[in-house]
Structure 1
Amino acid sequence: MRLLLLAVYILTFLAGVPANVLAFRTFCRKVRTRAAPIDVLLLNLTISDLIFLAFLPFKMKEASDHMQWLLPFPLCPLTGFVFYVTIYNSTLLLTAVGVERYLGVVHPFRYALCRRPRYAVVACVLFWAVTSLNLSVVYIMPYAQWGDIAAEPPSTCYLNFTESELGIILRVRLELFLVLFCVPFLICCFCYVNFLLVLWRLPNIGRRKRLRAMGLALGTLAVFAVCFVPYNVSHVVGFVRHESEHWRNVALLSSTLNACLDPLIFYFSSAAVRSVLKRCLRNVVAKMHILKCG
């Protein structure tokens, strides 16, 4: 399992960092010049992914040490907290992107009257607050396990629990499954199914634009299904069986991949990202042509 964890972490880091840095620069420029709600949401999704990727090397170190925590112990609760907050923050931001697209297509005139970037900013702040409060147990529990500061810290990080600790953790995980996964997923499905139905009936939409919109809808739902379902299912299984499932770390790998799959959503959602990406590809092709000729 150690090699699998390391392989997925390294792949996610190598693929996710350049893609998200490119998206971050693009959305920062777009927000400074002519911000739209979708740009604010996608910028926050990029920031969430970059924070996640910044802490991913600590998880690589943990995996390479056979899930023993050999780093300074204060990094344990901080890494776990940031790791899970950014994962669940992504579910809320992806849902918000779906809602924004749904309102823009299904209720274009009413939505145009209240389409303000500041509302997206408020939503993003609310998302960070909700996920941070719900995941606060991930930060508190390792210190509770440590107990006496003078004693030796636990050898693992947020992995082994007593019966009383497990009772708290399993209830929190079930709540995360219901509130931060099921509700956003159902909202996302409703928005994108109706988005596609309305889009399909519009006669004046070009084929390329229609395909891009379909790619956005299907890509977002695929990210939800592939990245978030396995890990959240482990919450339910663990609650029913009253144990922390040993395969949770493997299920978590699918959520880890979200950081390098989100740029696909950026591509379908933002003309600015598509333009920058095409320009980068042209520059790479031109340089390769120059090297070949030289």
Structure 2
Amino acid sequence: MTSDTRNLGILIIYIISFAIGLPANLLALRAFVGRVRQPHPAPIHILLLSLTLADLLLLLLLPFKMVEAARDFSWPLGEILCALVGYGFYSGIYCSTWLLAGISIERYRSVAFPVQYKLSRRPLYGVIAALVSWILSFGHCSIVIIVQYLPTNTTMTDANGHPVCYENFTQEQLKVLLPVRLELCLVLFFIPMAVTIFCYWHFVCIMLSRPQVGTQKRWRAVGLAAVTLFNFLVCFGPYNVSHVVGFFQGKSQQWRACVVLLSALNACVDPLIFYFSSSAVRKAFDRGLQRLKNWGVSLSGWWRRAGGLAAETRNGSLGMANVSFTGQ
């Protein structure tokens, strides 16, 4: 695969992620804000709202990544913007992992210990869990800014001398960066993934073992677990594997740009989690789909009417021309 083909593919996936993820997450944001504003909101809705905000942070920074991909991964926007965009982008990715783990814990507790869960379901717990997730992600990802401004004798440039963002590190930078990436991978990926798998495995087993649980709820439970597992293994997995490989090889992997875009796809996958997790989101999505359907029907009818009017106009013009030609 040539460099131009790779860059075009990455750019297209970024555009698709932005086009699908932004409206879906805005729709979910509206639904969750409504639920959180109600008296005594459930902790899981606070966590879902926080996950939506993390996705929106990532999506709003995607246009900068599009510019980078379109320019063959050179960075024309300056060092300060590079540091801020990278900091926000990677923080948005890693904030999602512990939020997903927190959602899985809430789901497991709600079916495994229903009485205790109802007695201890306080909004404050959701706020604390969300704050911990944000602090962990933003604290760890400050390495992006730290490495950017480490005192070195060279600047980050590619083979042609063009400035690049968060690439082509010096040995001094790698000595700081690689161990932090390994620790980040452990704390913000492997541990929350293990917690999530444990909770959803037991959650699904309990839901499937209860005869009083309806078929629709069982399928939603399976779908929620499957989508979350897809998030960890496909969206987050390859990127975090690059941290481990880079640490043992002592260098930053060149293929990281290709797996970072998989992490961006997380913002398109999360709305499915919202759909399976919240009736408010399901209603909002159903209303949105109905509006799109109505809009499509209206547009189709307008095109048919416009086409019929144009045909009538052409037929009328031809009739007048025939009358003039025959002298009648």
TM value normalised by structure 1: 0.94
Indicate the residue corresponding to 1:20 in structure 2.
25
1:192 and 2:200 correspond:
yes
Contact 1:37 1:120 survives alignment (8 Å): yes
Indicate the residue corresponding to 2:10 in structure 1.
5
Shift of 1:266: 0.5
1:211 and 2:219 correspond:
yes
CA distance, structure 2, for counterparts of residue 292 and residue 77 of structure 1: 47
Seq. identity, %:
46
Indicate the residue corresponding to 1:87 in structure 2.
93
Picking from 266, 277, 280, the partner of 1:272 is 280
1:161 and 2:166 correspond:
no
Shift of 1:177: 1.2
1:250 and 2:283 correspond:
no
Letter in 2 for 1:264: L
Structure with higher RCO (Cα < 8 A, 6+ apart): 1
Q: For 1:186-238, what per-residue CA distance to the aligned partner results, in whole angstroms no more than 9, with x for missing partners?
A: 00000000111111111110111111111111111111111011000111111
* Change beyond 3 A, Cα 1:63–1:145: farther
CA distance, structure 2, for counterparts of residue 144 and residue 84 of structure 1: 19
CA distance, structure 2, for counterparts of residue 146 and residue 264 of structure 1: 45
Gaps of 5+ in 2: 1-5, 158-162, 303-328
Indicate the residue corresponding to 2:132 in structure 1.
126
* Change beyond 3 A, Cα 1:146–1:59: farther
* Change beyond 3 A, Cα 1:290–1:156: closer
CA distance, structure 2, for counterparts of residue 65 and residue 293 of structure 1: 42
Indicate the residue corresponding to 1:135 in structure 2.
141
Indicate the residue corresponding to 1:59 in structure 2.
65
Moved more, 48-57 or 274-283: 274-283
Letter in 2 for 1:164: E
Contact 1:146 1:153 survives alignment (8 Å): no
1:173 and 2:178 correspond:
no
Shift of 1:12: 0.8
Shift of 1:145: 5.4
Indicate the residue corresponding to 2:322 in structure 1.
none
Letter in 2 for 1:59: K
* Change beyond 3 A, Cα 1:290–1:8: closer
Letter in 2 for 1:13: F
CA distance, structure 2, for counterparts of residue 93 and residue 47 of structure 1: 11
Indicate the residue corresponding to 1:230 in structure 2.
238
1:76 and 2:82 correspond:
yes
Letter in 2 for 1:166: L
TM value normalised by structure 2: 0.85
Q: For 1:89-147, what per-residue CA distance to the aligned partner results, in whole angstroms no more than 9, with x for missing partners?
A: 00111111101100101111111111111110111111111111111111121122578
Contact 1:102 1:194 survives alignment (8 Å): yes
Indicate the residue corresponding to 1:106 in structure 2.
112
Shift of 1:2: 1.3
Moved more, 283-292 or 193-202: 283-292
Q: Indicate the SS of the match to 1:74.
A: helix
Q: Indicate the SS of the match to 2:37.
A: helix
* Change beyond 3 A, Cα 1:146–1:162: closer
1:285 and 2:287 correspond:
no
Contact 1:81 1:135 survives alignment (8 Å): yes
Indicate the residue corresponding to 2:317 in structure 1.
none
Letter in 2 for 1:25: R
Shift of 1:286: 2.9
Gaps of 5+ in 1: none
CA distance, structure 2, for counterparts of residue 183 and residue 217 of structure 1: 17
How many pairs were matched up? 291
Q: Indicate the SS of the match to 1:51.
A: helix
Picking from 17, 21, 38, the partner of 1:33 is 38
Indicate the residue corresponding to 1:117 in structure 2.
123
Q: Indicate the SS of the match to 1:285.
A: helix
Contact 1:170 1:235 survives alignment (8 Å): yes
